[in-house]
């Protein structure tokens, strides 16, 4: 490798020009082909059995995610202006090419099942907007008396009504998202219009994600420049170190665009990652160069460059490979954003390694050595003195260090048991953001903006005309709604039959129950099919009455809410099984829950895999299994502390924070590799354990401190992100970098010292 690099650098100008031209090419591809993935279903593996079944159920019952538009009038909705606005807004949505006319539900389009002298009829609540007080009062009375509408389309206090427009997954776009928002704004006075629903969450995330990335990159660049100038004390060194990370970032996004991989929400953090990580190689290279020039002030730039390559190519490659392994281990995840984040960040890390080993030496050859302020002997003596004192103190107070570390690990393990997984996409936003406040408003007035679909399946023809089965479903609905505050409402075939039974008995509340005979159930269903729109019926039952769909409305989309709902539902499984009915789940809410399980499984697999590979790699690099095990100690401790802090501070695992262990291992292991490499070199040169410790602390310890400062500063920039999970990740990774650094120069150093590795035992 050293010979290859030396050959490349015989024509440094050519190297710089070729890399610049290739980077411009990648930039053009990135600019023209990059796209943001807005469909949250595309975050999930569609071949997974749960998703396959859910997609089938969505086809059977026409289950779609809906855009919810709430019309609020503090003085009450029952006035000609507000009711006309419901009609006009409904018609405007029906005319949009992305929305099927029959998939818009509002007070204007909803069916009102009523009893007549001839039996039963299904009518609209209104066709023309009521003008007189008498007609408006009749509309109010009709809504109040209909349990299927009151509380579902009109709030209990009658100040809000909603319009629900269901859409297909593949029609949503940023243009459509903007159309919906503009439509809402055009109707926004004097009534207040609120727009919510899962598609709106997707659209907002797709809008804020790139904007967040554009805002974060300049901030992280500014922070890194300032820190690099303070650490490297050279504009020239800072420029080429930044050039490395900028080139690697452009190549990464250019490759993604070239092969058609979209940008997910979590992908927006890749530039911050590469900028914070990519500077590490430059810091170690320039730190080595600085020490060489202090000892050899008369050396030529070629001699300095050759010594830098000779002394540092191996640890730079080692650390880059181990960092890349940490990210590549994310390929074990079945969650697409995490998988692709790991793959392309690993590619970016490896490109940063190549650029560091080629661009920085080429820059030295073309533009000369960096101009550093010459250190006097006093400074060198102070540095050496500090390294001597620090290494001696660690050995002297080794038991204190071990005890403190053990206590921290014990507390962290207790915290790990409190870690939970959250699939909520809404909780990625600020609590006081418009989209969260709108969602909260609709949840307070209606059943909930999130849904969980329970699919009932039977082998018996006409099973869902059986009163016993219908009563069991109705009992489940009452139990779930009565037990859990997070469940606001539910809707199933049982609601249709209770309504029909009531209106056929002169609206007597005593008959708001499931009919007792199967014949009567069949009669009611036949009457409805003849009188109303049977398409509505097929949303809750199939044509053969062998499958049925029950929808629960939830006031939260996080995994705790969905899990608690499923827990109550499954208490009713034994009763339904005796009636030859099985239960499965479908819809976006359930897929989100499966999503959390995949995150957890991927996290565990990634952690185990990356640890095993890193230990193996270090063992092979240093030709010593003990070195591999000792090198892994700081990152193991770091991972325990990290997850412990998450549990103690109630920070959930999400698609963002699930990256934590791989980042901690991938970056944190760099400190151990550099320390081990330099320890091995000095052990061979001096043969003295104390001198080896002092020299290693002075050389690698110094570079590790600089590296940790820059990486921590880079990741702390994530605290400025608009997404709370990104801020949590920035804080946690910064903590990880600090604990990895501290663990390397304390616990790992102690283990090296005590084990007598690279020294003959006496």
Q: pLDDT value at position 26?
A: 93
Could you tell me if 459 and 572 lie in one domain? yes
Distance CA 606, CA 150 (A): 49
CATH number of the domain enclosing 126: 3.30.70
**Nearest to 571, CA basis, from 714, 421, 454:** 454
Same domain, 258 and 393: no
pLDDT, mean of residues 306-331: 84
pLDDT digits (tens, 9 = 90+) for 650-680: 888 776 777 777 777 777 788 888 888 888 8
Dihedral class, residue 432 (left if φ above 0, else alpha if ψ from -120 to 50, else beta): alpha
Q: What does the pLDDT look like over 240-285, one tens digit per residue? A: 888 998 999 999 999 999 998 888 877 877 887 787 777 878 887 8
Domain boundary among 152, 174, 202: 202
Tell me, yes or no, whether 40 lies in a domain. Answer: no
> Residue 278: inside a domain, yes or no?
yes
In this structure, is residue 606 part of a structural domain? Answer: no
Residues 509 and 395 in one domain: no
Give pTM, 2 decimals: 0.77
| Number of domains, the chain | 4
Rounded Cα distance between 471 and 97, Å, is: 41
Residues above pLDDT 70, as percent of the chain: 95
Contact (Cβ atoms closer than 8 angstroms) between residue 337 and residue 264: yes
Q: Classify residue 51: in a domain, yes or no.
A: no
Q: Is residue 219 domain-shared with residue 366, that is, in the same domain?
A: yes
> Does 55 fall in a domain?
no
Identify the pLDDT of residue 377.
39
Asked whether residue 669 is assigned to any structural domain, the reply reads yes
Alpha-carbon separation of residue 650 from 419, 422, 425, 642, 715 (angstroms): 7, 11, 17, 12, 21
pLDDT beyond 60 at 376:
no
**Residue 189 belongs to some domain of the structure:** yes
282 and 198 assigned to the same domain: no
Of the segments 200-209, 421-430, 663-672, 717-726, which one has the largest average pLDDT value? Answer: 717-726
Predicted local confidence at residue 615, as pLDDT? 86
Confirm whether 755 is domain-assigned.
yes
pLDDT band per the 50, 70, 90 thresholds, residue 208: confident
Q: In which band, very low, low, confident or very high, does the pLDDT at 373 lie, cut at 50, 70 and 90?
A: low
Strands 547-554 and 450-458: antiparallel
Quick one: which H or E segment has residue 553? strand 547-554
Provide the domain limits for residue 262. Answer: 1-33+213-370
What integer best gives the mean pLDDT of the chain? 85
Residues 525 and 587 in one domain: yes
Of 642, 664, 675, 691, the residue nearest 747 (C-alpha) = 675
List pLDDT tens digits, range 66-93: 889 999 999 999 999 999 999 999 999 9
pLDDT tens track for 214-233: 788 788 888 888 888 887 78
Are residues 232 and 365 located together in one domain of the fold? yes
Q: Assess whether 440 and 588 both reside in one domain.
A: yes
Q: Is 321 in the same domain as 462?
A: no
Q: In what order do the strands lie in the sheet with 581-586?
A: 487-491, 547-554, 450-458, 581-586
Residues 5 and 104 in one domain: no
Please indicate, yes or no, whether residues 502 and 522 belong to a single structural domain of this protein. Answer: yes
Residue range 695-720: mean pLDDT, rounded = 80
545 and 412 assigned to the same domain:
no
What confidence score (pLDDT) does residue 372 get?
A: 60
* pLDDT at residue 375, rounded to an integer: 47
The CATH number of whichever domain residue 393 belongs to comes to 1.20.1640.10
- 387 pLDDT band, cuts 50/70/90, is low
Q: Is the peptide bond before 528 cis (omega within 30 degrees of 0)?
A: no
Q: Residue 1 has what pLDDT?
A: 63
């Amino acid at each position: 490798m050293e010979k290859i690099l030396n050959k490349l650098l015989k024509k440094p100008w050519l190297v710089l020009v070729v890399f610049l031209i290739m980077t411009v090419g990648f930039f053009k591809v990135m600019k023209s082909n990059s796209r943001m993935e807005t469909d949250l279903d595309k975050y999930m593996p569609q071949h997974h059995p749960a998703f396959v079944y859910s997609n089938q159920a969505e086809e059977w019952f026409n289950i779609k995610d809906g855009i919810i538009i709430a019309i609020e009038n503090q003085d009450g909705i029952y006035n000609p202006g507000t009711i006309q606005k419901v009609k006009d807004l409904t018609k405007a949505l029906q005319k949009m090419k992305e929305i099927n006319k029959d998939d818009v539900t509002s007070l204007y389009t909803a069916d009102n099942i009523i009893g007549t002298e001839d039996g039963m009829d299904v009518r609209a609540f209104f066709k023309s907007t009521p003008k007189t007080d008498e007609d408006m009062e009749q509309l109010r009375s009709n809504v109040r008396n209909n349990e299927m509408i009151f509380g579902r389309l009109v709030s209990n206090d009658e100040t809000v009504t909603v319009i629900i427009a269901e859409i297909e997954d593949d029609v949503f776009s940023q243009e459509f998202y903007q159309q919906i928002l503009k439509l809402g704004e055009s109707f926004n006075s004097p009534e207040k219009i609120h727009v919510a629903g899962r598609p709106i969450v997707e659209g907002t995330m797709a809008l804020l994600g790139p904007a967040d990335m554009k805002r974060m990159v300049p901030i992280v660049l500014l922070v890194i420049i300032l820190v690099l100038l303070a650490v490297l004390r050279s504009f020239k060194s800072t420029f080429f170190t930044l050039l490395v990370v900028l080139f690697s970032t452009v190549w990464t996004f250019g490759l993604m665009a070239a092969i058609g991989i979209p940008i997910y929400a979590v992908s927006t953090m890749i530039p911050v990652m590469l900028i914070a990580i990519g500077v590490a190689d430059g810091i170690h290279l320039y730190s080595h160069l600085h020490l060489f020039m202090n000892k050899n002030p008369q050396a030529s730039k070629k001699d300095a460059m050759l010594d830098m390559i000779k002394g540092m190519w191996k640890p730079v490659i080692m650390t880059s490979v181990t960092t890349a392994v940490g990210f590549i281990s994310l390929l074990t995840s079945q969650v697409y954003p995490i998988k692709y984040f790991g793959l392309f960040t690993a590619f970016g890390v490896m490109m940063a390694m190549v650029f560091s080993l080629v661009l920085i030496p080429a820059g030295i050859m073309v533009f000369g050595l960096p101009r550093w302020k010459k250190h006097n002997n006093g400074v060198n003596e102070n540095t050496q003195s500090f390294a001597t004192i620090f290494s001696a103190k660690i050995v002297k107070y080794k038991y204190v260090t071990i005890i403190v570390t053990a206590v921290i690990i014990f507390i962290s393990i207790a915290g790990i048991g409190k870690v939970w997984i959250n699939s909520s996409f809404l909780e990625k936003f600020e609590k006081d953001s418009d989209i969260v406040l709108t969602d909260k408003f609709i949840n307070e007035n209606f059943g909930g903006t999130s849904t969980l679909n329970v699919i009932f399946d039977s082998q018996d023809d006409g099973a869902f005309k059986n009163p016993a089965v219908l009563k069991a479903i109705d009992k489940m609905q009452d139990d779930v709604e009565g037990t859990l505050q997070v469940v606001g409402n539910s809707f199933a075939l049982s609601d249709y039959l209770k309504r029909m039974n009531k209106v056929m008995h002169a609206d007597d509340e005593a008959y708001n129950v499931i009919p007792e005979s199967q014949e009567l159930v069949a009669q009611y269903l036949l009457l409805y099919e003849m009188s109303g729109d049977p398409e509505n019926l097929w949303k809750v039952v199939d044509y053969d009455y062998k499958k049925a769909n029950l929808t629960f409305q939830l006031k939260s989309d996080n995994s705790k809410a969905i899990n608690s709902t499923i827990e109550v539902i499954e208490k009713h499984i034994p009763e339904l099984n005796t009636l030859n009915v099985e239960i499965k789940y479908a819809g976006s809410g359930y897929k989100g829950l499966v999503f959390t399980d995949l995150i957890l499984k991927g996290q565990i697999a990634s952690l185990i895999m990356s640890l095993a590979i890193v230990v193996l790699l270090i063992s092979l690099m240093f030709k010593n299994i003990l070195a591999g095990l000792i090198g892994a100690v700081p990152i193991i401790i770091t991972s325990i502390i990290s997850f412990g802090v998450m549990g103690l501070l109630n920070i959930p695992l999400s698609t963002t924070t699930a990256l934590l262990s791989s980042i901690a291992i991938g970056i944190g292991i760099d400190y151990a590799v550099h320390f081990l490499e330099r320890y091995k070199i000095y052990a061979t040169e001096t043969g003295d354990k104390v001198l080896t410790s002092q020299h290693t602390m002075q050389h690698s310890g110094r570079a590790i401190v600089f590296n940790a400062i820059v990486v921590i500063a880079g990741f702390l920039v994530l605290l400025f992100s608009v997404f709370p999970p990104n801020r949590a990740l920035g804080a946690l990774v910064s903590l990880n970098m600090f604990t990895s650094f501290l663990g390397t120069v304390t616990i790992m150093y102690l283990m090296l010292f005590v084990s007598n590795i690279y020294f003959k035992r006496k």
